[in-house]
Amino acid sequence: MTPVLWSFRRCPYAMRARLALLSSGQRAALREILLRDKPEAFLKASPTGTVPCLVLPDQTIDESLDIMIWALGRSDPEGLLDMPQAGHDWIARCDGPFKTALDRTKYTTRYPDSDPDQARAEACDFLKDLDRQIDGQIFDRRSLADVAIAPFVRQFAFIDKSWFDAQPWPRLQAWLAEFLGSEDLSTIMPKLPVWQPGDAPLMFPQKAET
């Protein structure tokens, strides 16, 4: 059975799962959904009803970081898993306090009791620290931390890209620009039709034409 990946193009969690599958070379049948109209088949597959969700013959994985580690545990040609323990700490900060602040900065109507200016200041604390850490990459070469964190920094940056570009974070901005211009990002971000029951499998990643 080919693994099935339920995904939503712009979700940063789904983005990083697709990036890990791409790096590992692990192919999957990609099913693109709309979060506002989740199909019944997806809700039956995903215990949490969230993307990404990877359905395997013997298990279902519906946490993005677990999907990344599963894929790279099978094949890791870039050595992304070979990173210091501090990389896991950076990912935890991204997925915890930074993501909380990001959501309250971006989705103000969802959090009417939250101060978006305070939330942005809290997000900036993480980004300032990340700027000081980065020297080309978060560590001495690209690692799981870069792949796991970049989609979330991208999401924050595009809340107000002009404001983000004006901040005194040159290394962070260069790191993000490299990600935004990468072939990997363009490969995982094509606009795809929303999955419908009976559709032929849409394989991800697409094999390069010869």
The model's pLDDT over 131-152, given as tens digits with 9 standing for 90+, comes to 999 999 999 999 999 999 999 9
Rounded CA separation 123/119 (Å) = 6
Q: What value, to the nearest 5°, has the Cα angle with vertex 101 and ends 108 and 69?
A: 125
- Of all residues in the chain, the percent with pLDDT exceeding 90 is 97
Inform me whether the pLDDT recorded for 174 exceeds 60. Answer: yes
Check residue 135 and report its DSSP letter. Answer: B
pLDDT at 1: 84
The residue among 138, 181, 190 whose CA lies nearest residue 18 is: 190
- Residue-wise pLDDT for 29-44, tens only, equals 999 999 999 999 999 9
Fold classified for 85-184:
Glutathione S-transferase Yfyf (Class Pi); Chain A, domain 2 (1.20.1050)
Q: Evaluate whether the domain defined by 4-78+186-204 bears CATH number 3.40.50.2300.
A: no
* Domain range annotation of the chain: 4-78+186-204, 85-184
Mean pLDDT computed over every residue of the chain: 96
Contact yes or no for 62/68 (Cβ under 8 A):
no
Strand partners, 109: none
